[in-house]
Structure 1
Amino acid sequence: MLDIALLPGKYAVCRLAAGSALPPELSGGLSDGDVVTVSWTADGISLICPADRAPEQAVGETAWRCLRVAEPLDLAVSGTLAALVDPLAAARVSVVAFSTYDTDYLLVPAVRLREATAALERAGHRVLG
């Protein structure tokens, strides 16, 4: 069983053109609990951020809710994401997953949040917040 924290507000999944500069509104000044993640590839920049910080020039969707595994995870532990994604897949809830050094995050469509949390709770997890 995992404790899963529901972060406040909506999140955006965005794409910027390759070679774009990272907008200054994404670096620093995050509220407690907010998260921003950036991935650079030759094809472009993908970013996940609070919806109110999504760059205007980005292409993306801003109707996601963010769930975070509440306690830090040991990098040697396997199966954590599967334990979260599998019940969501069975409930046919779309997921965008990402990890930091400390823990794992899931984005689910805001309109499916109730179904997502119910699926996680049926799988034995506890959703907080």
Structure 2
Amino acid sequence: MDLKRIDGLLTVCKLKSTADIDLSHDFYFIGKTDEEISLVCKNEDTPAETLESDDGWRAFRIQGTLDFSLIGILAKISSILAENKIGIFAVSTYNTDYILVKENSFEAALLALQKNGYNVL
């Protein structure tokens, strides 16, 4: 399975409102529930008004479109990383999954995945 590095550093944050999000930028994940509004974006695109934020994340995505009938893809990746004591923040889209790890663990995460048969692009 191929994994693609995502360029740049990311921020995970909690917002009071979506009004400050500039969707013209190229990389955003927005999650809204009855309890919170969460945002993942490039560090430089973090809105000025956040309730909480955590900078310094790196990401990779599982290449291709994943069929909904596929089982255990994210579980296997997260297990490999957990065995290597690397925490994750995962985000899923309609097409695929993105896995975020802290910048200081990024290369170790990719190496662990490569050792387990993943191809990193």
User: TM class by shorter-chain length?
Assistant: over 0.9
Whole-Å separation in 2 of the counterparts to 1:5 and 1:77: 19
Whole-Å separation in 1 of the counterparts to 2:82 and 2:18: 35
1:28 to 13, 24, 28: 24
Aligned to 1:52: 44
Whole-Å separation in 1 of the counterparts to 2:35 and 2:25: 28
Unaligned runs of 5+ in 1: none
Q: Is the 8 A contact 2:21 2:47 kept in 1?
A: no
1:112 to 93, 99, 105: 105
* TM-score, normalising length: structure 2: 0.92
Unaligned runs of 5+ in 2: none
Aligned residue pairs: how many?
Answer: 120
Aligned CA-pair RMSD: 1.2
1:41 to 27, 33, 36: 33
Deviation at 1:126, TM superposition (A): 1.0
Aligned to 1:15: 14
Whole-Å separation in 1 of the counterparts to 2:45 and 2:10: 9
* TM-score, normalising length: structure 1: 0.87
Whole-Å separation in 2 of the counterparts to 1:21 and 1:97: 21
Whole-Å separation in 1 of the counterparts to 2:117 and 2:15: 38
Aligned to 2:93: 100
Q: Is the 8 A contact 2:2 2:119 kept in 1?
A: yes
Whole-Å separation in 1 of the counterparts to 2:59 and 2:117: 19
Report the residue type matching 1:43 in the other structure: E
Aligned to 1:90: 83
